Structure 1
C-alpha cells in the first residue's frame, strides 16, 4: 500500500513545457506528479506559447516568477546554469512539438516524461531511444489510464492461468464529444488534434486507441499481433484525412483474434473505455467507468466482481493501493501511480541500478515506440483500402540523429 512515504531519497526538481491555463491535460500531470510530494517538486516551467500568460499562470500555481520562462529553450539553458536546476521535464504540448522538445531536453541532460502519442514516426522514436541511452536518461510516456491497479490484477491472473489460453481480445475507447463540428471551431485543443501538420497521421487512433493498445500490452505482455486490418472514417468531412472513427481487427501470433473500436463521434457516450479478455476457461472485463472493479467470469460459475484493495488480490495489484477498499479511486490516482513509477525509474537510472529498472512495470520509451508503430500499421492498412497487413513490430533505421 502507498501512503506517501518517500520512495526515493529526495523529490526530483521538475518542470513542465506546456500544460498551462488553456490546456486540458496539464492539471492531470500536476496532480499525478505532486500527489506524493516526496517524488517531484515543481520548480520551473514554460507553460504557454504566450510568455506573459504563462508567467501569470506559473506564479498562480506557486512557481517563482523568475523560473517561469518564455519558451523551453530559454528554460533549459537558464536552468543548466543553476546549482538547483531542473532534473526532469514533462512535455504537455501538441503532438508535432514532442520530438524537438524531447531531443532538446535529453541533450540538456534531463530526464523526460512526454504526452502520447510520443512522435509522428517510429524512426523518430528509435532516434530518441538511442539518444536517451547515450545520455543515460529515462523517457516515460503518460498513458494516464495505465496506473489503474486492476489492470495489474488482470495481468497477474492471465500469467497464473486463471482464464486459460487467450482466444479473444475486445477493446473499446469511444466518446461522443466530437459528434458534430462545433468543437472543431471553438476549442483550441480540438483544432490542433485534427490538423495533420500538428497531430500527425491520425486523430482518434493516436489520441484514444494508443491508450487502450498500451493497456492491452500491459495486461498481456506475451501477446504479439501478427496481422491487422484497419478501417477508418472521417464522418465530419472537414477532418479528413484524419479519422474520427476507426475499427481494427487483429490476429495474434498464438491464434487469438481481437477487435478495437475507437471513436469520438459515439453520440451520447460519456465513457466507452472497456477491455475484455476471453480465455478458454474464463473471461476478464474492466471498464474505465468502474475502475475499482474487475469482472471475472468463469464458464459455468457465478460471475465474480473483484474489488480494488481487497486482500484476495495479487500482490502486484495491492502494491499501488492508496485509499482502502471503502474509498473509491480513479484517474487522479492512476496518474499518481505512473508518475511515482517515473520517479522510481529516474532514481534507479541515476543510481545505475539496472536490475531495479528491469523489474519496474511502467510506460517507458519502448511503450511509446510501440504506440507509434500501432498507429503506423493501422494507417498503412486503412490507406491501402482497409486491407490485412503484416504487423511491423520493428523497423530498421534509415538514418540517425
Structure 2
C-alpha cells in the first residue's frame, strides 16, 4: 500500500502546454501530477490567448513572469533559468502534439503527452529516435491503465490463471456525440476536423484506450492482421463516429496463436456514459473489467461460481496492491488511476536523469507509436472496403 512517501528525491520542476481554463483534461493532469508531490508546477503556456493564459496561470499560483504566451517562448526562457522546468505536459488539440513533443525533447525535457502522440508512424518513429537520443522519458496518458485491477489482470495472465488467451472483447462506445454536438460545443468541434484531430475520431479518441489496456495486461501481445469498418452516422462529419475492428494475434507464451480480438469504438452509443469494457477469455477462465466500475473485476473459472475481485483486497497479487491508496472497500476512481501513472512517469524521469533504466512499465513513447500504427492500419482497412491488412 502507498502511504504518500516520496518516490523521487526532489519534485520535478514541471510546466504545461495547454490545459487552460475550459480545457476538458487540464485539471486531471494537474491533480494527478501534484497528488504525490512528485511534480511542482512552476511554468506554463496555458492558452492560445496569452492574456487569458497568464490570468489562468496566476490563479494556479504560477509566477506571472513564468506564464508564457507560447511553448517556444517557455522552452527558451526556462532553459536560461537555473531552476527551469525539467518536464512538460502537453494538453492541446491533437494537431499540436507532435510539434510540441519534438520541441520539448530537443530542449532536453521529459514529456507527458495526451494521446494520440502524433498523426503518423513516421512522426512517431521520429519521437522514439529523439527520446532515445536525448535519453528522455515520454509518457502517454492512457489514464485508465493506472487502475489497480489492470495490474491484477496483468499478473493473473502472467501466472497462467486464465490459461492460454483465446479471445478478447473490448469496447469504448459512449453516446455523448449521438447528435451534432460540435455545432454548439467548441471543445468538441476540433475533434471532427482532420487537420486538428488527425485521420480518425472514434478509433483515435477512444479506441486506443482499450487497445493499450490489453497491451498492459499482455505485454507480449502482437497483432498479426486486422480488418476495420468505420463510418460517420451523423451527417456532415468528416471523421468517423463509429468503428468496428477485428484482429488476429500472433502466438506467444500467454496467447494462443490465432487468438482473436474484437473492438467497438463509438461516440454514438445512445444512452451509454462510457461502455468501456474489456473481457479476456482464456482456455481455463475469463476476466471482465468495466471502467465505470473500476474497483471490481469479474473472474469466471469454467465449472465454478463466478466471483468478483475487489480492489485493495488481500487475495490480489502484490503488484496489484502496491499502488493502493486508501485500503480495500473504499472506492477509488480516475484521479487515483492518473496519479498512479504520473507517479510512474516521475520515477521513470528521475531514473533516466541518473542513467538508470529498469524493468518498469508505463505508457511510453513506443506505446504511443503503437496506437498511431493501429489507427493507420484500421483506416487503411476501412478505406479498402474492410479488407484484411497485415500489421507488420
Q: Same fold (TM over 0.5)?
A: yes
Aligned match of 2:213? 215
Tell me which residue corresponds to 2:106.
107
The TM-score normalised by the length of structure 2 is 0.97
- Structure 2, gaps ≥5 residues long: 251-256
Structure 1 match to 2:22:
22
* 1:139 and 2:138 aligned: yes
Q: Which residue of 1 aligns with 2:307?
A: 304
Shift of 1:376: 0.6
Matched, 1:329 2:329: no
Give the superposition deviation at 1:237.
2.4
- Residue 204 of structure 2 aligns with which residue? 206
* Residue number in structure 2 paired with 1:239: 237
Which residue of structure 2 aligns with residue 225 of structure 1?
223
Which whole-Å CA distance do the structure 1 matches of 2:97 and 2:202 have between them?
A: 18
Cα distance in 2, alignment partners of residues 120 and 243 from structure 1:
16
Task: Report the alpha carbon displacement of residue 223 of structure 1 after superposing the two structures with TM.
Answer: 2.2
Which runs of 4 or more aligned residues in structure 1 lie more than 3 Å from their structure 2 counterparts after TM superposition?
A: none
Distance, in Å, in 2 between the alignment partners of 1:166 and 1:31 is 36
The equivalent residue for 1:399 is: none
Q: Give 2:5's aligned residue.
A: 5
After TM superposition, the structure 1 = structure 2 runs for residues 40-79 of structure 1, keeping only pairs within 5 Å, are 40-79=39-78
Question: Between Structure 1 and Structure 2, how many residues are aligned?
Answer: 386
SS at match of 1:13: strand
Matched, 1:317 2:320: yes
- Mapped to 2, the partners of 1:104 and 1:280 lie a distance apart of 47
| Alignment partners' CA distance in 1, 2:387 and 2:173 | 23
In structure 2, distance between residues paired with 1:151 and 1:362: 12
Q: What are the Cα deviations for residues 179-207 of structure 1, in whole angstroms up to 9, with x where unaligned?
A: 000x2112222111100001000001000
| Structure 1 residues 1-400: aligned runs within 5 Å | 1-37=1-37, 39-181=38-180, 183-240=181-238, 242-253=239-250, 254-354=257-357, 356=358, 359-392=359-392
Partner secondary structure for residue 227 of structure 1: strand
Question: With structure 1 as the length reference, what TM-score do the two structures score?
Answer: 0.95
Q: Secondary structure at the match of 2:8?
A: coil
C-alpha separation in 1, matches of 2:247 and 2:128: 27
Structure 1: segments with no counterpart, 5+ residues: 393-401
Q: 1:59-79 CA distances to partner (integer Å, 9 max, x unpaired)? A: 111111111111001101111
1:132 match: secondary structure = helix
Q: Kindly state the Cα deviation for residue 110 of structure 1 after the two structures are TM-superposed.
A: 0.7
Does the CA contact (< 8 Å) of 2:228 and 2:243 recur in 1? yes
Residues 336-392 of structure 1, C-alpha deviation per residue, up to 9 Å, x if partnerless?
Answer: 0000000000001000012x2xx1110001100001011011001001111111113
8 A contact 2:115–2:140 mirrored in 1: yes
- RMSD of aligned residue pairs (Cα, Å): 0.8
Q: Answer yes or no: is the 8 Å Cα contact 2:311–2:329 preserved in 1.
A: no
Secondary structure in 1 matching 2:258: coil
